[in-house]
Structure 1
Amino acid sequence: MPTLTDSLIVVPLENKVLLPSVVLKINMRGRDAVALTRKHLRFSEQRKPTYIACIPLTGESTAVVEEDAVALKDEGFIKAEDKDRLFAYGCTARIVRVQRSGLGAFTMFVEGISRFMVDDYFTHENALHVKVKYFDEELEENETSDEMIRFKALVREFLAKMKDLNMPENLIGQLTKLIDSVSPPVLADLLVSVIETSFDEKLTMLATISLKERVEKASEWMTRQLHVLKISEQVHSSVEGKLTKKQREFYLRQQLEAIKKELGETEGGSGAKEEDELDQLGAKIEEAELPEEASTVAQRELKRLKKLQPASSEYAVARNYLELLADLPWSKKTDDVLDIAQAKQKLEDDHFGLDHVKKRIIEYLSVIKIKGDLKAPIICFVGPPGVGKTSLGKSIASSLGREFHRISLGGVRDEAEMRGHRRTYVGAMPGLIIQGLRKCKVNNPLFLLDEIDKLVQSSHYGDPSAALLEVLDPEQNNSFSDHYLNVPFDLSNVLFIATANSLDTIPEPLLDRMELISLNGYTFEEKLYIAKAHLLPKQLVAHGLVKGQVCMKDEVFLKVAENYTRESGVRSLERTIASVVRAKCVQLADLREQDKEEEYDPNVSLEAIEEILGMAYYEKEIAERDPVPGVVTGLAYSGSGNGGILFVEATKMPGDGNLELTGSLGNVIQESAKLALSWVKSHAFALQLTTSPTGKMIEHDDIHIHFPAGSISKDGPSAGVTLVSAIVSLYSGYHVPPTTAMTGEISLRGQVLPVGGIKEKVVSAHRAGIRKIILPYRNRKDVEQDVPEKVKEDIQFVYAKNIWDVLEAALVMNETDKWITPRVYESHL
């Protein structure tokens, strides 16, 4: 044992008291803990014990004290200013074992040796040390009296009661052996650490010098603990005899929860918590203000849910269903923003052109403002990709102040994705409509049904397009029923906007329920404005540049649009502009690395475009065409909303009057070719085509008609006038100028019938450099209504009622010698 002159390093104890003969676990970390551990290891090698002074801490601390550990700081175990918190008494301890418990953290097991009184503190090697005063604790003769005998008897009674209560047997066995082998004062210190005593009582025990007083205090506290154990045993026995099986289970469950709570192992899945959550769910259902029918179903399901066990599968299904009912916006809606001027400005800022679309939206808003309420229309935007159908829906939602939700219908093949699954199926869930409403949290959002023409129809999973009939019918969707929800939900407040590239694949019943608004392709002038106002600023932000760091003039934009993209929309144009911006980013980055940023030129020239993007992808188709008899330019329309020009080439050879058609042609266009040949043969005399340069009759020639780009399928009746003009040009020697194009269907009598896709065809012809277009007379209204004014100014339009008007406007011998209408023509008028 250390002598009175020994100095010991101070290890303060937070909320703990170490008594002699007691083993205590202490957690320590920091620089001093490492030093103490090294000292212990060094002494262990020399077979020397390592002693420390364990002193309890009292009062408020100015240092951060770790739970269940000493006051730990890297500069020492305790701050110098906190030494006044140290108790006046302590216990010398011997380090028994040290184990690492983390980075710089150690767990020490110490055994109490002897109590002492603090004499003085001093600092040595940056650690607080203490000089101590020990006491003589030898047992006197008069202290081996009856009091000590009664104390040992009390200890035996206490241990017997612990055994009756199924306390740990190893602890009881060790204490039983110590009764006769150690002195009563030492036994008193051990038992005070075992029984329930407060921190203050343990401090009192540490500060008690008299052996007799320590034994008396230990006897007093053990007697108190013994009474508590007896009363607990009596109450437990009395209550246990009266409990039924269910009460016993409840009691045991409550005890288990209490034990878990003390151990910190609670998982939040108790029955009481489940009941609280169900009460909260019921309150949430009340707040949702469900309609009468839905409220009745919800209350019935809630009562059923309370009777189910949480572990059952039906419990999860019922709870998910009730949570859906509570989350749906039965009565929540947003107020429409009815500022017409602001809505106009918003639409103008977001989109260039599209006047007829903006006009329809403004009409809708105006009626709402006048009437106060209006059944939402079902609008379908039809047009080629990239013309702004989806972004237009976002702008409408923003101008109305409504929530926006997009539902992509491309490739949807299961009817249940629209109307939901029955709850009897595993993993059942509501349809896309109800899920969207749950996400929006209001019952009047704007739903964009994107790519409605891409729905899979009539598969073995059902017909999802048929499931949309109820959704998109303003007369029926006020009571839409989802299979999972199984109660009606009012969709009449939802504004549905659908988008499609083509109407061909949309079923007629579904098409009948929607108001169609066509969005046609952009002209070069419109693309120029869009690129300058929207695309270039957007790409500058996306690439971390600011306004002015990339500058493109109008002719540069037009060159990119004409020679590097060929589309109705602006997606390819945006990607191409992004390529130009990236190239300028490379230039700017290189100059910054060389500290020559002032040499950077933000302007993009026409020559730089070819360096950045390479050679032009597209040239104007008519640029390489020479006027040749038998070659005529027609106009075509693709199903994706794009227009284009189409060349028809005809040649003849001696034969038996057969017609050969090539170029991946469909049935309709083949019939148009046969019809054109029949009309030319029947009017060959009037057309002065009865003989060819070789002198043979037209009936004895084989005619071969070819449509270039043979890998692309072609069909439709609009090439009728083009085919007639090609055959007549072939036999007459007159040609059709490359800058003249035509479209129209012909009848057997020579009438020119109207065709569709006029705006797309005209705009594509304008892109290709066509300056004269021959159209059916009945398509005149389409030109006046849909074709942009800039295109009208650049193109001469000729409207033909019959094929004679077409031939007269199209065929020329040279620039001054035009087709001379035969005299016989008068008889055909």
Structure 2
Amino acid sequence: MNEWFHCNKCFLVGTNDSQFWFTSCGHIICAECKKNGNLLLGQKGICVVCSKQETSIMMVNKNMKPDLIHLFRPPKDLLIEFTSKIKTTVEFQNAHRQRFFKHIREKHNKAAKIAKAAHVEITKRVEREKNLLAERNQVRMELDSTKYYVRQLEKVLADRDQEIHRLKRKSPSFVKRTSPHLKGRAGYPSLNGNTPLSRVSFFGCTTSTPNDFANIAAGCLDNRRRNNVGGNAGTAGEFDFLSQQRAMEEVVAGGPSFIPNTPALLGLPADTSNDNNDDQTNKDLDEEQPSPDLEANELTLFTDSSPMQFKVPENLPDVPIIAINRYPFFPGFIKKVDLKQNEALMNLIKSKARQKLPYVGLFVKKNPDDKSEAVPSISHLYTVGTFAHIFEMRDHEGRMLEMILNSHRRIRILQPLEPTIDFPKGNGRRKLSGNRKANLKTKKEEIQPEEQPQEQQIDQPPEEKLIIYARTENIVDNVPTQISIEITVKMQAIVSIIREIIRDNNMMAQHVALLLQPEHSIVDNPVYLCDFVGTIAQNAETEELQAVMEEINIMRRLDLALELLEKERARVKMLKSIRESVEKKVQEQNHKYLLNEQLKAIKRELGIEKEDKQAVLERLDERLANLNVPEYAMKVIKEEQTKLSFLDPHSSEFSISRNYLDWLTSIPWGKTSEEVTDVNRAQKILEEDHYGMKDIKERILEFIAVGILKKQTNGKILCFYGPPGVGKTSIAKSIARALNREYYRFSVGGMTDVAEIKGHRRTYIGAMPGKTIQCFKKVQAENPLILIDEIDKIGGAGYHGDPASALLEVLDPEQNSNFLDHFIDVPVDLSKVLFICTANETDRIPGPVKDRMEMIEVSGYVAEEKMEIAKNFLVPKCREKCALTEENLIITNEAINTLIRSYCRESGVRNLEKHLEKIFRKAAFRIVSNEENKNEKIIVDNSNLKEFVGREKFTSERLYDVTPPGVIMGLAWTAMGGSALYIEASLARKLRPWDAHQIVNTNVTTNSPSSPPQGSLEATGHLGDVMKESMRTAYTVAKNVLGRRDPNNEFLEQAHIHVHVPEGAVPKDGPSAGCTITSALLSLATGKPAVQGISMTGEISLTGKVLPVGGIKEKIIAAKRAGVNCVVLPEENKKDYEDLADFIKKDVEIHFVDHYDQVFDLIFPNFVPTTNSS
């Protein structure tokens, strides 16, 4: 143990036998040195190494404390020992972790299996419920249909029962006559409807429902009643019964002469042919075998085994023509057609149905936008159409004819024909006389029905020359007797493609699958197969479908059918791919959702993650722990938390309550940023960012000084107003940096909604707090600097309230300590906020808002100030933006001065910055594009400045080098700064004594010829109301001054004077041009020009007093820019002039006046009155 160290005093190396001692000051000494130092065990002494007093010693051996013995052991032994311990510890912990992870995996796998089984079960259950729902809907539809049919049958049978009872009461022999006819009739309906009903064939239509049977029977009975015209056949009761009996027999027998008269079928009168005798009828009925009923969906088309067999004439050239849209009607299919417009066509079809020719021809119109049912010319139709049989027809009282058509063959239209329509006579009953009734009661002869009256043939031409009847010819397909291998291959290809389409499109599967079964002949008949392809390819163009319809050559027709199917297959595949991609995305989302829910459940089970509600509440508590929330706000938060704990996380109220709590806890209750207490540092920051702005900087430094003395800072409301581009917005950010406050800006320009300031009510969807609360959430401090920009452009009162009035509560120091936002609904303290507003014109700021702010003017810059700003701020900024250095580009001071005077004359420097950026951009382009000499240094001076910024935009503002009589230069203030304003006065027409009337101030005054003439004044130049009034005042003052200075001069009394202010497109208003207008009028009246190089400003009163005006700095700058060195100002503006910088007052001679007489003496120094009036 003692082998590796030595004595720190004599440097004796230790051995196994040597003894060493360890001092409390950290040294090792041998026994000899211990002895020499008089150090004893258990006592304190002086260390022999460092001479430290109060030193204790201990022997270095294996009995030392564990925390000291390792200091003397060899590092090798320590490394081996601790490595072994670490290895054992790691193995032990790994074994425990493996057991824990195994438990977690088993639990996760178990939960996954349970979730998977639940998912499979849910999927099966959903599919089962879907199938049950479909079956329920189907059963419900069948049940409703059956109920309807039963109700109709019960109604018919009830009517018949009443008729029989009535007949019984009238004729006692009724029972005797009825028993032979009703006895043993197979399929004949009984009165209670228990006997099965026989099927009735009508135009090939098989009816098997009780409703159809009852309606047909009713139609036959009504026909018999209407067509019977009387005779001596028997009594009325006997006639009614026998008519009913024959009608029922015709229904049961299904005779070819039967045409029902019921709205459920055709609604047409029946043909009254002679009936067979009762014996023959009974024989037919006994021999008839009832056939099984077939449902509608069991009817199969185009097969020999079809139950719908009817005989269609092979050649019927003359048929009614129906024009259809878009899709040709291929043979072998059923189509529903409604006729509403053409009454002649409907009458023709009904007439043909009465003639037992229920056939029509259907042709497609060439114009798909034509919605008519008939066309005026054959050229409007495709020549090949379809011959169809009317399967069923309903007549809606002439308003609409509803037909179900069954197509049979293709036909070609040849020529139009003039139709002949049969109109039946009335079928009303004749009233029997008394003798006739007596004869009917006494005679027992069999009643023979009267022959049907002859139908009147009426040629009724249609109102319009439309084709509704035409001659056609059948189209015979060119099919070889022996089907070739090529045809067979093409047919197999068609069938294969159809099967593929069915496989990809479930909607078409049920309709087509039955037709593609091997036992049906459609797959072996190329003609029918092509017709079938034309029917299912309904997405093809009309021309393509019509080409299949018109083609006779079977090979070419099969090729056309294949082309249609290829397009349909491509469309189906595209739809399938889209559907699969959508389904895949939905499945992925469902899978992810399922996995996430499983993961959440596992984490909640393990305690790794908590429920959403609990996590939200804990997060809110964590926020509140770092906030100093007032008691009134904490009470609201706790109540809302309690409410949230009882809500369902998936409910809408939960999200609303959580959002409200998020905003409440996001407000920095009691949190403030530490403000600067060093005035010099704040001043340095303000000077670094902005040049000039002395008033603003002094006000901010005063604000800091007050805070230092008071040891706390309260909020303040300041307003910086001035022309655009002078740095009002940018200096607010510098102030925030100088005060170490958070910065937040929002603009109220054009704002019309109060909710932007005070927030929305929480009851509205998507409600949010106002801008101040949003500011607090972002900056997380109660004492930020909030900049409200463009306050002079705030919107007025409207539908959503007045935002200017809402700002009163924010900017009022007496109210903003308890600001109440509509959304938060809890008072918030805004008294620590420093509000800074910016505006261009103070006149447009609402009065109450302006009264609550401290107004600080930010004047425009003169050329010297712009030069300093450009050199020290703008050029370095542009250089950094464009990544250029002084080695690449230099802009001379002369070039900057030219930019200021000839390109950028506005009060601010925003336009100057744009021109400088333009120079740097063009220079960067030159450097990059010049590959040969990229290191070339570009120098911009007056010689090449136009290459970078173009031609000069401004020249001298002086319109006159030498002002003539009647012209005076004035000075004006605008939102862009100061400018020179010329007033021009000229003689329009000198009035003569005999003028009848004059115009004075735009009013007509009529004078007698002998009355003295009167002068007048006309003003132009887009002037405002204030300036017009100032001009009339100046006109009066000029007359008074001229009357005193030059009594003989009556020019202003007699002349018509026109005063104009140049730049007529620019609106002008204000009273400060009063002195200038008066001087211009006097200069014109005296005929003497004013002293050259002088300009003036000031309002004039009616007595000649010169009143003060604003914008002195801008006006003096404008005078210097125009090259004027003498300016006349009102006496009361002397204090404003003295506040100006020395470089602004330099080289300008100022004359202060308080009455216009002083102005007159300045501009007309050597005035001499005239001797004669002019």
* Kept after mapping to 2: 8 A contact 1:380/1:516: yes
**What amino acid sits opposite 2:705 in the alignment?**
S
Aligned twin of 1:649 = 984
Distance 1:641 1:167, change over 3 A: closer
* Kept after mapping to 2: 8 A contact 1:690/1:697: no
Find the aligned partners of 1:313 and 1:521 in 2 and give their Cα distance.
55
Aligned twin of 1:725 = 1079
Deviation at 1:810, TM superposition (A): 2.2
Distance 1:822 1:430, change over 3 A: same
Find the aligned partners of 1:478 and 1:505 in 2 and give their Cα distance.
27
Say whether residues 1:280 and 2:619 are aligned partners. Answer: yes
Distance 1:409 1:821, change over 3 A: farther
Aligned twin of 2:1064 = 710
| SS state at 1:597 partner | coil
| SS state at 1:621 partner | coil
| SS state at 1:407 partner | strand
Say whether residues 1:797 and 2:1150 are aligned partners. Answer: yes
Which has the higher mean CA deviation after the structures are superposed, 397-406 or 374-383? 374-383
* Kept after mapping to 1: 8 A contact 2:604/2:611: no
Aligned twin of 1:765 = 1119
Deviation at 1:823, TM superposition (A): 12
Say whether residues 1:741 and 2:1076 are aligned partners. Answer: no
Q: CA RMSD in A?
A: 2.7
Q: Trace 1:167-246 onto structure 2 (pairs within 5 A).
A: none
Distance 1:372 1:702, change over 3 A: same
The answer for unaligned runs of 5 or more in structure 1 is 1-164, 170-255, 812-817, 825-829
| SS state at 2:944 partner | helix
Aligned twin of 1:820 = 1167
| SS state at 1:775 partner | strand
Deviation at 1:680, TM superposition (A): 1.9
Aligned twin of 2:862 = 523
| SS state at 2:883 partner | coil
Find the aligned partners of 1:476 and 1:424 in 2 and give their Cα distance.
26
Identity over aligned pairs, percent: 41
User: Which of residues 453, 472, 480 is equivalent to 2:811?
Assistant: 472
Find the aligned partners of 2:713 and 2:693 in 1 and give their Cα distance.
24
- 1:321-355 alpha-carbon deviations (Å, 9 max, x no partner): 10111111001111101111111111111111111
Aligned twin of 1:422 = 761
Distance 1:738 1:423, change over 3 A: farther
Deviation at 1:641, TM superposition (A): 5.0
Deviation at 1:820, TM superposition (A): 3.2
**What amino acid sits opposite 1:678 in the alignment?**
T
**What amino acid sits opposite 1:665 in the alignment?**
L
Deviation at 1:587, TM superposition (A): 2.4
| SS state at 2:749 partner | coil
Deviation at 1:428, TM superposition (A): 0.8
Find the aligned partners of 1:497 and 1:262 in 2 and give their Cα distance.
50
User: Which of residues 421, 438, 463 is equivalent to 2:802?
Assistant: 463
* Kept after mapping to 1: 8 A contact 2:715/2:783: no
| SS state at 1:685 partner | helix
Aligned twin of 1:372 = 711
Say whether residues 1:513 and 2:852 are aligned partners. Answer: yes
Deviation at 1:499, TM superposition (A): 0.8
- 1:512-539 alpha-carbon deviations (Å, 9 max, x no partner): 1111110000010000000000111111
Find the aligned partners of 2:664 and 2:1071 in 1 and give their Cα distance.
54
The alignment's TM-score, normalised by the length of structure 1, stands at 0.64
Distance 1:466 1:272, change over 3 A: same
**What amino acid sits opposite 2:1166 in the alignment?**
W
Which has the higher mean CA deviation after the structures are superposed, 429-438 or 364-373? 364-373
Find the aligned partners of 1:166 and 1:475 in 2 and give their Cα distance.
65
Say whether residues 1:779 and 2:1133 are aligned partners. Answer: yes
Say whether residues 1:636 and 2:983 are aligned partners. Answer: no
Aligned twin of 2:66 = none
**What amino acid sits opposite 2:1104 in the alignment?**
G
| SS state at 1:447 partner | strand
- 1:236-263 alpha-carbon deviations (Å, 9 max, x no partner): xxxxxxxxxxxxxxxxxxxx99982399
Find the aligned partners of 2:817 and 2:897 in 1 and give their Cα distance.
50
| SS state at 1:727 partner | helix
Find the aligned partners of 1:504 and 1:407 in 2 and give their Cα distance.
21
Q: Trace 1:588-737 onto structure 2 (pairs within 5 A).
A: 588-591=927-930, 593-594=931-932, 596-598=933-935, 600-622=936-958, 624-638=960-974, 640-652=975-987, 653-655=989-991, 656-688=1014-1046, 690-691=1048-1049, 697-737=1051-1091
Deviation at 1:484, TM superposition (A): 0.5
* Kept after mapping to 2: 8 A contact 1:409/1:450: yes
Which has the higher mean CA deviation after the structures are superposed, 546-555 or 415-424? 546-555
Find the aligned partners of 2:818 and 2:807 in 1 and give their Cα distance.
13
Q: Trace 1:419-498 onto structure 2 (pairs within 5 A).
A: 419-498=758-837
* Kept after mapping to 2: 8 A contact 1:381/1:497: yes
Distance 1:168 1:723, change over 3 A: closer
Aligned twin of 1:260 = 598
| SS state at 2:1042 partner | coil
Distance 1:819 1:315, change over 3 A: farther
* Kept after mapping to 2: 8 A contact 1:285/1:325: no
Say whether residues 1:586 and 2:925 are aligned partners. Answer: yes
Find the aligned partners of 2:761 and 2:634 in 1 and give their Cα distance.
19
Distance 1:265 1:648, change over 3 A: same
Say whether residues 1:569 and 2:911 are aligned partners. Answer: no
- 1:644-701 alpha-carbon deviations (Å, 9 max, x no partner): 111110011312411111111111111111111212222323222634xxxx754221
* Kept after mapping to 2: 8 A contact 1:620/1:768: yes
Distance 1:266 1:291, change over 3 A: closer
Deviation at 1:611, TM superposition (A): 2.5
| SS state at 2:744 partner | strand
* Kept after mapping to 1: 8 A contact 2:811/2:853: yes
Distance 1:456 1:258, change over 3 A: closer
Aligned twin of 1:19 = none
Aligned twin of 2:840 = 501
The answer for unaligned runs of 5 or more in structure 2 is 1-116, 122-593, 992-1013
* Kept after mapping to 2: 8 A contact 1:717/1:745: yes
Find the aligned partners of 1:686 and 1:548 in 2 and give their Cα distance.
70
- 1:682-729 alpha-carbon deviations (Å, 9 max, x no partner): 2323222634xxxx7542210010011111111111111001110111
Distance 1:525 1:821, change over 3 A: farther
Deviation at 1:288, TM superposition (A): 2.4
Distance 1:636 1:311, change over 3 A: same
- 1:159-192 alpha-carbon deviations (Å, 9 max, x no partner): xxxxxx99999xxxxxxxxxxxxxxxxxxxxxxx
Deviation at 1:736, TM superposition (A): 2.5
Aligned residues: 559
* Kept after mapping to 1: 8 A contact 2:973/2:1115: yes
Find the aligned partners of 1:740 and 1:167 in 2 and give their Cα distance.
95
Deviation at 1:756, TM superposition (A): 1.4
- 1:467-487 alpha-carbon deviations (Å, 9 max, x no partner): 111111222211111110111
Deviation at 1:610, TM superposition (A): 2.0
**What amino acid sits opposite 1:739 in the alignment?**
G
The alignment's TM-score, normalised by the length of structure 2, stands at 0.46
| SS state at 2:925 partner | helix
Runs of 4+ aligned structure 1 residues displaced above 3 Å come to 165-169, 256-259, 261-271, 818-824
**What amino acid sits opposite 1:616 in the alignment?**
E
Find the aligned partners of 1:717 and 1:364 in 2 and give their Cα distance.
37
| SS state at 2:912 partner | helix
Say whether residues 1:357 and 2:696 are aligned partners. Answer: yes
* Kept after mapping to 2: 8 A contact 1:257/1:266: no
Aligned twin of 1:142 = none
* Kept after mapping to 2: 8 A contact 1:524/1:561: yes
Distance 1:627 1:297, change over 3 A: same
